[in-house]
């Protein structure tokens, strides 16, 4: 998916010379300390910020304009701070998708069980930026919106930070069980790392390790420290 990618902000901070791939159906986690470049990397991959060097590829073909190419049905993305608009929950989730997809998207996002707690269920107005929902509900509403339309690659930028461990585990397990999509997940949380087929460890904007969790805990000092400190 990326070869020797470099993405820098105006401050000079960013990620340098990173190569990664995500195969069909694979669950890949990008992890690292705060400020290691995780969000910068995925935003650069998706063309949401410009990259200064390297290639972004889709099935081996170079993508010239990732911002317009990596959209549904190829790719879908949920940001670290999801943006909901001031309308009903149903309208936020559907966002142009068919109503038939709504029930499945809510279930996969582990949001269906919250509906009875909301005063008007799916017709509950969420308020500007989702102010009437909890942090976890905002994240899951954004995930449901992403899942309401099919995409080959699902990109999650730390979307489970406000979820309890059980809900997060249900989210990742459901995606793995019912979807054939590849998942690229930015997370330091153990539920995601335990689910991962492969983990990419970043430090100071560079990839310092890559592999399965058991292997990295044996071979990567950075991964061991993150795990022991509870940052991963």
Q: What is residue 82's predicted lDDT score, i.e. its pLDDT?
A: 85
Which residues are CB-neighbours of 225 under 8 A, at least 6 positions away?
A: none
For 51-95, give the DSSP string: -SEEEEEETTEE-S-HHHHSSTTTEEEE-SS----SSBHHHHHHT
Range with lowest mean pLDDT among 22-26, 184-188, 228-232: 228-232
Report how far apart, in Å, the C-alpha atoms of 188 and of each of 46, 103, 170, 202, 227 are.
Answer: 21, 29, 17, 11, 9
* Cα–Cα distance measured from residue 44 to residue 50, given in angstroms and rounded to the nearest whole number: 6
- Burial label for 77, CB within 10 Å (0-12, 13-18, 19+), is buried
Q: Given pLDDT bands bounded at 50, 70 and 90, which one contains residue 231? A: low
Dig out the tokens for 33 from the structure: 């300390």
Residue listed under structure tokens 């290639």: 55
Closest CA to 118 of 104, 107, 133, 135: 133
Phi, psi (degrees; rounded to nearest 5) at 12: 95, -15
Query: Structural domains in the chain?
Result: 1-74+151-232 (3.40.50.300), 83-149 (no CATH)
State whether residue 121 is helix, strand or coil: helix
Q: What is the pLDDT of residues 1-19, one digit of tens each?
A: 899 999 999 888 999 999 9
Angle value at C-alpha 96, between 92 and 98, nearest 5 degrees? 100
Average pLDDT of the chain, as a whole number: 90
Mean pLDDT, to the nearest integer, of 168-188? Answer: 88
Q: What is the pTM of this model?
A: 0.92
The pLDDT tens digits of the residues spanning 23-76 come to: 999 999 999 999 999 999 999 999 999 999 999 999 999 999 999 999 999 999
The 3-state DSSP class for residue 125 equals: strand
pLDDT per residue over 101-155, tens digit each? 888 888 899 988 888 888 888 888 888 777 788 888 888 899 999 998 889 999 9
CA distance 223 to 213: 9
């Amino acid at each position: 998916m990326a070869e020797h990618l470099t993405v820098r902000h105006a401050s000079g901070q960013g990620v340098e010379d990173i190569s990664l791939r995500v195969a069909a159906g694979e669950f890949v986690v990008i992890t690292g300390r705060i400020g290691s470049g995780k969000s910068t990397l995925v935003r650069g991959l998706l063309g949401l910020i410009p990259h200064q060097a390297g290639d972004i590829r889709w099935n081996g073909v170079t993508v010239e304009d990732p911002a317009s190419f990596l959209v549904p049905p190829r790719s879908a993305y949920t940001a670290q701070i999801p943006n909901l608009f001031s309308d009903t929950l149903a309208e936020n989730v559907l966002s142009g998708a068919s109503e038939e997809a709504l029930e499945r998207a809510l279930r996969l996002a582990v949001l269906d069980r919250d509906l009875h707690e909301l005063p008007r269920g799916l017709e509950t107005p969420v308020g500007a930026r989702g102010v009437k929902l909890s942090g976890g509900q905002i994240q899951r509403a954004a995930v449901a919106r992403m899942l309401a339309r099919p995409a080959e690659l699902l990109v999650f930028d730390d979307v489970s930070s406000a979820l309890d461990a059980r809900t997060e585990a249900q989210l990742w397990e459901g995606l793995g069980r019912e979807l054939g999509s590849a998942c690229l997940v930015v997370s330091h949380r153990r539920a995601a790392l335990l689910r991962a087929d492969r983990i990419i460890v970043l430090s100071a904007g560079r990839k310092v390790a890559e592999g399965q969790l058991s292997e990295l805990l044996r071979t990567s000092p950075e991964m061991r420290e993150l795990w022991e400190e509870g940052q991963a």
